[in-house]
Amino acid sequence: MSASTKPSSQDARLEEVFGAPVGELYAQAAAGIAPPAVSRALELRSFLALTEEQVARVRDRVHAAMAPDRDMNELSAAQLRMDSQWMDAALSARGEYLTALGELLKTMPAPTNPPRRPVAFDQQRLATRMSPRPAPPALPAQPATRGR
């Protein structure tokens, strides 16, 4: 199964931001007509989908090993330790992908609000230069006073 067909926890958010179903976004990217941000988001989404699948696999494996009807003689501390390390790595990667995808989506403009252009005026700008300020008038000389 391809990463593009695996579900991810962020599919609804991607559809909301880009205004199209994830499958359609992948089709646009494959055809080369998707904007760069869509391609980057889909790449992160693919990594996220694979990582979330790994988290689910380890979770299910641990749940199966710890099932109440399971024979206690089959429990393996070494295997559970390895699953714990695997889960730690998968959750860490998932967190990083979620952060990166979230940062990318924050920079995207809202789908209903097109980017705004700066206001353009029809009038020409007037460029004037200020003439230098004249020096302040000199103060009148004051008579010198002698101390008494």
Exposure of 92 in the CB half-sphere (CA atoms within 13 A): 6
Spell out the residues 6+ positions from residue 83 whose beta carbon is closer than 8 angstroms to its own.
58, 61, 62, 65
**What's the rounded Cα separation, in Å, for the pair 126 and 132?**
19
Tokens 């199964």 correspond to what residue?
1
Question: DSSP for 72-112?
Answer: GGG--HHHHHHHHHHHHHHHHHHHHHHHHHHHHHHTSPPTT
pTM of the model: 0.70
pLDDT tens-digit map of 52-74? 999 999 999 999 999 999 999 99
Instruction: Express each pLDDT in 72-89 by its tens digit.
Output: 999 999 999 999 999 999
The pLDDT tens digits for 112-135 are 555 555 655 555 655 556 666 766
